[in-house]
Chains A and B, each alone.
Chain A
Amino acid sequence: MKKIYILLIMSAVLFSFYSCDTEEDLRDESVLDIDESLQNELDVWIYENLTKPYNVEVKYKWDDNEIPNSFHVTPPKIEKAKDFLEAYLNLWIKPYEEESIAGNNPDFMYKYMPKLLVLVGTPQYNADGSMTMGMAEGGRKVTIFNVDKFAEVAVYTWDTPEVIVNRKKDAMRTAFHTLHHEFAHIMHQTKFYADEFKEICKGDYTANWMDLYPQDANLKGFITPYSMLNEDEDFVEIVAGMLDRSKYSNEPHEFYVPLMDEQGEPTNEDGNVFMTEWESFLYGWCWKKEYDENWNSYWVRTPEAKKAYEKFTAKVNIVTAYYNEKWGIDLYNLQKRIDTAVSNLVIE
């Protein structure tokens, strides 16, 4: 009898293991609900010009998963998104691509350019009074805000068509500040820049950058107030600032300015100097106009200004060397390529 019970228990245990195996075959239909999205002209253009050749996905249709929950923004106007993307291809991707090929790093853009570009129509207005104009996440995604105002310029009744076109071209150059800035973050997050950079303005970084004027930042050796937030922002703002100021890079322009002596000190003599936009930005860094007892004006460069200039140019040298050595990109050549691209861009 005992054997029968044992037999019964064993068969019950066996049955229980067997009977719990109720795994069904996989369903024929997918459990994923995949929709084919509506393809408008812009979607087709994006696929042909950005996705196929560069493996870049562009999201301009509202998807709140791509935007922080606390943000209140709207999708961009389609015509402005198109304007932006055409300029993005011609003024941003292609100059980098050409420069990296010239620098023997042909895969550079395909490897490192952000694979997801999210476009937002408006800026994000933050509680502290600042505006978010761009965000980069982990080297993969860049979000560009305020696309609805892309390359928007004031037009006055007395403006000639040429003046308007030139003003638009200037606006185009600066419109990519955010992308240059965010892309530079991807660069330094991938390969570190020299620690030496961090030492130059050590102690001058501040979380209260928004309370400072650009001239205050310049006088400390920074390109913008925002660059004073931390070393990384300082680094990327220099890159973006250089690439914003690409005008006249191919053909220096004649500026009528106070002349400087051999030591770089300002004189009271004015004259013509041929410079690129970037050189003209550096020229006269923090010079100050003062007046003598007879109210005659004269230019001075204070010791503080001189020190700021030296700090800033030292950082610029580190940044340009970094791009050359680590990525095969000559930022001065890149300025030229952007200048050419802007000149070639037809603006209706």
Chain B
Amino acid sequence: MKRLLYVFTMLIAFSACEDDYEYAIDKTPTERKVEAKTELMNLLKGSEFGWKTVLVYQGPNDKASAGDFFVMKFEQNGENFNGEVTIANGFKEEKSEFVLNHEAGTILNFNTYNDVFHWLTKPNIWEGQGFGGDQEFIFMREDAGNLIFQGKELGNEMILEKATEQDWDMTDIQEMREKFLQLFEKNFVAFKITDGMGATEENPFFIRFNPDGVAINMSAVPDKEGWFYEMVWEVDGEKVYGQEASYVFTHDELIFSYPVVVKGDTLDRISYNEVDDTWVIGNKSVVGTLATSDLPMWQSPGMVDKAIDIFFQQYASGWKMYPWNYDEPDNIVTGYAKGIDEECEMFDYFAVHSNYTNSAGENLGAGFILEGADYSGKYAFLPIEIIKLDESELKFVWNGEVITDIEDAAAAKDVINTDPHIQNMLNAFCNPVGWSIYCSSYFYTPTWEIYPAEFYNMEDPSIVIKAWWSISY
């Protein structure tokens, strides 16, 4: 027994000194960190023309999405793990600095401000995390020549793909944007979907760029005003507003940073086809075109009935043309109304009524009303016929008759027939082609339905009247 104990003691004595640490990891942590950073630095500077990527962020609180296309070239500062990076998007190029750190992994840190890159990271008053962009990225792996990173703070993925010399020439992107913005010279810019999203050739589905849609506070990135859009569409008769989001112009396509998803199909990109001057949807499951028009491209069901039965008689004086319009001070009809209010001595306001009852309780039916000047209570009523042309198209026809309680009726008629502003108003309203209404309602509260309507003069579509009605249930 004693012998065994002695042998055992000897074994412990000899085996205790086996230093297996050095065998398992033959480099110090510092050496390994340096190695990892060297590897990433070599990869970053290894691409002759740098790298390109598209970063699209869905805002952290669903308030706005934004993205951008970047090309970047890294230049090392001597043997150090930092240097300068030149970053360009389609419209601007700026130099800043970068540094490689090692914490939970090897990190690419865009550590000085770059106006081209950091706008997606900047916080703003309405959202503390801004558009949700990262400025530090953990290097995850190299995959088929691409460098895959993950945002350190918010976990966004960044895939750097090798850029070419042509990627730095942004002329095509600038031309694409110019071409795209030209579309908005028309009143309507909309996708007409004929396949996917539940649409067919016979029953197309429309997604419109909402011209008044962008309302987010851009004070943190003021130079990005005009780079955002909002789309609006209808599902089962209800208006759906997409998130306010930014355009992402790349060499190949225009990406919408907030995808429209309807019935499982996604639309988030288009490209310009120079040959036939069209915009082609890039999503495979959706077929359609991006169309423009000065008039609504589709009927808004039931709008004429609603206008006649409710809107044109909702208030005592009907649908009044006001001489001021803060949203659109240059609106043509506002100009006519202003002319009547300020220059016509006999009348102040012009209104449309579909079922007018005067102060004596007499029902005069449909007509234009010219209110007497200076709140006299006097009026001139011009009987009209409202003709329904389609679900959302109508026409006003005035037969020239004037009913008035103004003592000098002849003078009143004379003013109506000669005052240039009243004449402009009557000519616009009684244009021979009629009016097309674009309107889709939404519920502000469960019992409060809002109707933001746009009336387009079909003879002269530059004449547009925007109106806003509500119905409570």
Please give the residue numbers on chain A whose beta carbons come within 8 Å of chain B beta carbons, in ascending order. 5, 8-9, 12-13, 15-16, 19-20, 22, 27, 31-33, 35-38, 40, 60-64, 72-78, 121-127, 148
* Further pairs besides A72-B121, A75-B118, A125-B124: 6, Cβ < 8 Å: A15-B14, A16-B12, A35-B99, A121-B122, A125-B123, A125-B125
Residue of B nearest to A63 (CB): B111
User: A8-B6, A33-B34, A36-B80 are known contacts. Are A126 and B13 too (CB-CB below 8 A)?
Assistant: no
| In the assembled complex, B234 has its CB within 8 A of some CB on chain A | no
Shortest Cβ distance from residue A65 to the other chain B in the assembled complex, whole angstroms = 9
A15–B9 Cα distance when bound, in Å, is 12
Contact of B80 among A5, A20, A37, A76 (CB under 8 A): A37
CB-based contact A19/B111 at 8 Å: no
Q: What is the chain A residue whose CB lies nearest that of B77?
A: A38
B470 at the interface (CB under 8 A from A): no
B412 → chain A closest CB, angstroms: 43
Query: Beta-carbon contacts of B77-114 to A below 8 Å, as 1s and 0s?
Result: 11011111000000000000101001000000111110
| Cross-chain contact B83 with A64 (CB below 8 angstroms) | no
Q: Quick check: is B16 within 8 A (CB to CB) of the other chain? A: yes
Contact A38 B82 (CB under 8 A): yes
Of listed A20, A27, A75, residue having the most chain B CB within 10 A: A75
**Which one of B17, B28, B83, B122 lies within 8 Å of A74 (CB-CB)?**
B122
Bound-state CA distance A38–B80 (Å) is 9
A9 touches B9 (CB 8 A): yes
Nearest opposing residue in chain A for B128, CB measure: A125
B123 touches A122 (CB 8 A): yes
Is B19 located at the chain interface by the 8 A CB criterion?
Answer: yes
Query: CB distance A33 to B33 under 8 Å?
Result: yes
Residues of B within 8 A of A74 (CB): 113, 118, 121-123, 135
Q: Are A75 and B111 in contact (CB under 8 A)?
A: yes
26 A-B pairs (CB sep. < 8 Å):
A8-B10, A12-B13, A13-B13, A16-B14, A16-B16, A19-B13, A19-B14, A19-B16, A31-B29, A31-B30, A33-B34, A35-B81, A35-B82, A35-B99, A37-B77, A61-B112, A62-B112, A64-B136, A72-B121, A73-B123, A74-B123, A74-B135, A75-B112, A75-B118, A125-B127, A127-B128
Contact B17 A20 (CB under 8 A): yes
Bitwise interface map of B from 1 to 25 toward A, beta carbon under 8 Å scored 1, else 0: 0100010011011101101000000
User: A31 contacts which chain B residues (CB < 8 A)?
Assistant: 28-30
Closest-by-CB residue of B relative to A126 is: B128
Give the residues in chain B near A123, CB-CB below 8 Å.
Answer: 123
Q: For A5, what are the chain B residues with a Cβ–Cβ distance below 8 Å? A: 2, 6
Beyond A13-B13, A22-B19, A35-B82, whether A62 also contacts B125 by CB under 8 A is no
Whether the pair A75, B113 counts as a contact (CB closer than 8 A) is: yes
Question: Given that A8-B6, A13-B13, A19-B17 are known contacts, is A72 also in contact with B130, CB under 8 Å in the complex?
Answer: yes
B residues contacting A by CB (< 8 A) are 2, 6, 9-10, 12-14, 16-17, 19, 28-30, 33-34, 77-78, 80-84, 97, 99, 102, 109-113, 115, 118, 121-125, 127-130, 135-136, 152-153, 220
| Contacts between the two chains (Cβ within 8 Å), count | 109
Give B100's nearest chain A residue, CB to CB.
A35
Residues from chain B with a CB closer than 8 A to the CB of A73 are: 123
Say how far B236's CB is from chain A's closest CB, in angstroms: 36
Instruction: Output the least CB separation between B104 and chain A (Å).
Output: 12
Closest chain B residue, CB of each to CB of A125 = B128
- Alpha-carbon distance between A199 and B122 when the two chains are bound, in angstroms: 43
Taking the closest CB of chain B, its distance from the CB of A297, in whole angstroms, is 33
With a cutoff of 8 Å between Cβ atoms, the chain B residues found around residue A60 in the complex are: 112
Query: Could you say which residues of chain B place their CB within 8 Å of the CB of A124?
Result: 123, 128
B-chain residues with CB within 8 Å of residue A27 when the two chains form the complex: 28
**What is the bound-complex CA distance between A76 and B121, given in angstroms?**
12
Q: Is the CB of B13 within 8 A of A121?
A: no
- Which 3 residue pairs of A and B lie closest in terms of their CB atoms, listed nearest first? A16-B13, A125-B128, A62-B111
Measured between beta carbons, the chain A residues less than 8 angstroms from B29 are: 31
Are A32 and B30 CB-contacts (below 8 A) given A72-B123, A74-B121? yes
A38 and B6 contacting across the interface, CB-CB below 8 Å: no
Given A9-B6, A38-B97, are A72 and B111 neighbors across the interface (CB < 8 Å)? no
CA distance A37 to B6 in the complex (A): 61
Q: Which residues of chain B have C-beta atoms less than 8 A from A19's C-beta?
A: 13-14, 16-17
Q: Which residue of B lies closest to A14 (CB)?
A: B13
Whether A36 and B9, one on each chain, are in contact in the complex, defined by CB atoms closer than 8 angstroms, is no
Q: Is A78 within 8 A of B113, CB to CB?
A: yes
Q: A22-B19, A61-B111, A74-B118 are in contact. Are A36 and B78 (CB under 8 A)?
A: yes
Complex CA gap A39/B231 in Å reads 46
